[in-house]
């Protein structure tokens, strides 16, 4: 009896947690070629680790030219949004065991933005749309001498959209944005929503006016790609529809 | 590395280097500081609302139309000049067909306008496709309206 238990413990200790995973990465280097190519990397990795750990292993031990963005590596900074197995996710929040490591794991840059190198895209148009919705508190009159207080209910009204980390996973999953970069995109609308429904803010009307324009919320086709892509679980499509509803109820 | 091998084989891209990087592929119609220009109209909102409301009305009108024309009372074989003349003698069916014509053409036209706006990337292509669409829509609406109002059952 005791030997059996001992054997089991020994067997577990000997069994390596590592498995062999193939990373199929979309490489693009304008200093070498004008074409992007797929490159396979095989690596030994614990399936409980994340895709970002795999990318680190490749960059640090196999091919230092692999280029990607990451800062905090814990799902807060929103730097490492990429298309993993055809879906926009954060590499630092995607466990390898959750995305079927038996097949090659494809890693691509997010779509709809200019690829500069490998997995790095030009985020300028994305942040321009963010700036265009005025994502800051707008108030009239004198500044209060203490904090701008707010009831718990008022805070809850826009709680969902405060979670945005501006990773661009939603905007770069939107088929309208892929075809027309003039569309504000879900992320900008989410951040407008955060202030439009904030009881302390008085610039809601201006933001609604911006989003009422031809490249605003009316271009949303409710495909729900953004809600599926959001790594923070924000109900993005719902937020966009709430802005639409606010626009309609404001007019009639 | 397979990527570099591939490049060395192709003569056209062999010239790319740190001093001469390859052109990057820009996404269509990227947003800049200057675009898009604000129009400050409610047109898109009314368009969006129109699509929802006309859609609801069209469900009734079109399904009713299809039932009468194709299913009830002998189906499509009964439709002839006399059948149309008989129906258009009544102002009710005239109104029905007129509303259906206008709503269906505007609904479909606005839908296609949306599709063109989404998928036609070049400004010129988009403009001319929309001009063709507007012309076709206006022509069909005007012709249809004319026929409904000037229909003469005794035409020879």
Nearest by CB to B49, which of A132, A176, A248? A248
Note whether B52 contacts A: Cβ–Cβ < 8 A: no
Instruction: Decide if B67 is inside a domain.
Output: yes
Residues 77-136 of B with CB under 8 A from A: 117-119, 121
Task: Tell me whether residues B16 and A34 touch, CB distance under 8 A.
Answer: yes
- Written as six digits, the tokens of A249 are 């109820």
The domain total for chain B is 1
CA dist A45 and A125 (Å) reads: 36
Q: Is the pLDDT reported for residue B11 higher than 70?
A: no
Domains of chain A, CATH where assigned:
2-121 (3.10.20.30), 124-251 (1.10.1060.10)
Closest chain B residue to A215, measured at CA: B36
Task: State the nearest Cα–Cα gap between B61 and chain A, in angstroms.
Answer: 25
CA closest to B48 among chain A residues: A218
DSSP codes joined into one string, B76-140: GGG-SHHHHHHHHTSHHHHHHHHHHHHHHHHHHHHHHHHHHHHH--SHHHHHHHHHHHHHHHHHH
Residues of B in contact with A34 (CB under 8 A): 13, 16, 22-23
Q: What CA–CA distance (Å, rounded) separates A187 from A75? A: 16
Complex ipTM: 0.82
Q: What is the pLDDT of residue A160?
A: 95
pLDDT band at residue B1, thresholds of 50, 70 and 90?
very low
What is the mean pLDDT of the segment spanning A59-73? 95
Q: Are A47 and A55 in contact (CB under 8 A)?
A: no
Q: What is the mean pLDDT of residues B33-62?
A: 92
SS3 A212: coil
Q: How much is the pLDDT for A3?
A: 61
Residue A12: per-residue pLDDT: 63
Residue A250 — pLDDT band, cuts 50, 70, 90? confident
**Mean pLDDT estimate for chain A:** 93
Q: Provide the b/e sequence for A11-50 (b: ≥16 CB within 10 Å).
A: eeeeeeeeeebebebbbbbbebbbebbebebebebbeebb
CA dist., res. A61 & res. B145, Å (int): 74
Query: Are B118 and A179 within 8 A, CB to CB?
Result: yes
**Is the minimum CB–CB distance between B49 and chain A shorter than 8 Å?**
yes
Report the gap between the CA of B68 and the closest CA in chain A (Å).
33
pTM of the model as a whole: 0.88
Q: Express each pLDDT in B108-145 by its tens digit.
A: 999 999 999 999 988 999 999 999 999 999 999 999 99
Range with the poorest average pLDDT among A7-11, A31-35, A73-77, A231-235 = A7-11
Select from A215, A217, A252 the residue whose CB has the most chain B CBs within 10 Å, as the one to mutate to test that interface. A215
**In whole angstroms, how far apart are CA A216 and each of A33, A112, B54, B123?**
37, 17, 22, 19
CB atoms within 10 A of CB A94: 23
**Domain range spanning residue B123?**
42-150
Q: How far apart are CA A234 and CA B80, in angstroms?
A: 57
Q: How far apart are CA B98 and CA B93, in angstroms?
A: 8
Report the residue of A25, A32, A208 to disrupt the B interface, i.e. the one with the largest count of B CBs within 10 Å: A32
Residue A205 contacts B where some CB pair is shorter than 8 Å: no
Residues of A in contact with B49 (CB under 8 A): 248
CATH number of the domain encompassing residue B139: 1.20.1300.10
pLDDT at res. B153 = 83
- Cis peptide leading into A148, omega within 30 of 0? no
The region of weakest confidence among A37-46, A188-197, B67-76 is B67-76
Residue B77 has pLDDT above 90, yes or no: no
Contact criterion met (CB below 8 Å) for A168 and A190: no
Nearest alpha-carbon partner for A243 in B29, B116, B48:
B48
How does residue B12 score in pLDDT terms, banded at 50, 70 and 90?
low
CB A57 within 8 A of CB A66: no
Kindly state whether residue B114 falls inside one of the protein's structural domains.
yes
User: Does A43 lie at the interface with B, CB-CB under 8 angstroms?
Assistant: no
* Statement: residue A147 has pLDDT above 80: yes
Q: For chain A, how far is it from start to end, CA to CA, in angstroms?
A: 79
Q: Which residues of B touch A113 (CB under 8 A)?
A: 27
Please check whether residue B35 is in contact with residue A181, taking contact to mean a CB–CB distance below 8 angstroms: no
Strand order in the sheet with A37-45: A37-45, A19-27, A105-108, A81-84, A87-90
CA distance B40 to B46: 13
CA dihedral A172, A175, A180, A186 (to 10 degrees): -50
Specify the DSSP element, H or E, that contains A77.
none
First to last CA, chain B: 81
- pLDDT tens per residue, range A39-55: 999 999 999 999 999 99
Contact B107, B54 (CB under 8 A): yes
Q: Is B1 within the bounds of a domain? A: no
DSSP single-letter state for residue A91: G
* pLDDT value of position A169: 96
Residue A216: which of B39, B32, B113 has the closest Cα? B39
B145 within domain boundaries? yes
Q: How many Å apart are CA B51 and CA B57, to the nearest integer?
A: 10
Residue A139 predicted with pLDDT over 90: yes
**Residue A2's pLDDT band (boundaries 50, 70, 90)?**
low
């Amino acid at each position: 009896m005791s030997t059996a238990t001992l054997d089991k413990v020994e067997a577990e200790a000997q069994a390596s947690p590592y498995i062999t995973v193939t990373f199929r990465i979309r490489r693009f280097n304008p200093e070498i070629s004008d074409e992007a190519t797929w490159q396979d990397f095989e690596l030994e990795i614990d399936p409980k680790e994340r895709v970002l750990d795999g990318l680190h292993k490749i960059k640090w031990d196999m091919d230092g030219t692999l280029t990607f963005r990451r800062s905090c590596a814990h799902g807060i900074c929103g730097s490492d949004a990429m298309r993993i197995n055809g879906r926009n996710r954060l590499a630092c929040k995607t466990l390898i065991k959750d995305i079927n490591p038996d097949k090659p794991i494809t890693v691509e840059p997010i779509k709809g933005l200019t690829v500069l190198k490998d997995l790095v895209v030009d985020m300028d148009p994305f942040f321009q749309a963010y700036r265009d919705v005025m994502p800051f508190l707008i108030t009239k009159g004198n500044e209060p001498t203490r904090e701008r207080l707010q009831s718990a209910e008022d805070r809850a009204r826009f709680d969902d959209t405060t979670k945005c980390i501006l990773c661009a996973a939603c905007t770069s999953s939107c088929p309208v944005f892929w075809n027309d970069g003039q569309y504000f995109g879900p992320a900008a609308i989410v951040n407008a929503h955060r202030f439009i429904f904030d009881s302390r803010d008085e610039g809601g009307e201006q933001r609604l006016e911006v989003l009422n324009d031809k490249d605003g919320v009316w271009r949303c086709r409710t495909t729900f790609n953004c809600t599926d892509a959001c790594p923070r679980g924000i109900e993005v499509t719902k937020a966009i529809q709430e802005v639409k509803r606010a626009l309609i109820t404001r007019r009639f | 590395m397979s990527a570099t091998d591939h490049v060395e084989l192709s003569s056209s891209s062999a010239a790319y280097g740190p001093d001469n990087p390859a052109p990057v592929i820009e996404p269509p119609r990227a947003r800049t500081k200057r675009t898009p220009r604000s129009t400050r109209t409610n047109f898109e909102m009314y368009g969006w609302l129109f699509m929802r409301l006309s859609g609801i009305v069209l469900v009734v009108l079109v399904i009713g139309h299809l039932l009468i024309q194709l299913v009830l009372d002998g189906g499509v074989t009964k439709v002839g000049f006399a059948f149309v003349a008989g129906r258009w003698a009544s102002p009710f069916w005239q109104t029905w067909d007129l509303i259906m014509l206008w709503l269906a053409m505007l609904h479909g036209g606005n839908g296609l306008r949306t599709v063109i706006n989404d998928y036609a990337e070049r400004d010129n292509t988009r403009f001319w496709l929309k001009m063709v669409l507007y012309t076709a829509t206006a022509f069909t609406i005007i012709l249809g309206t004319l026929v409904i109002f000037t229909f003469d059952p005794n035409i020879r």
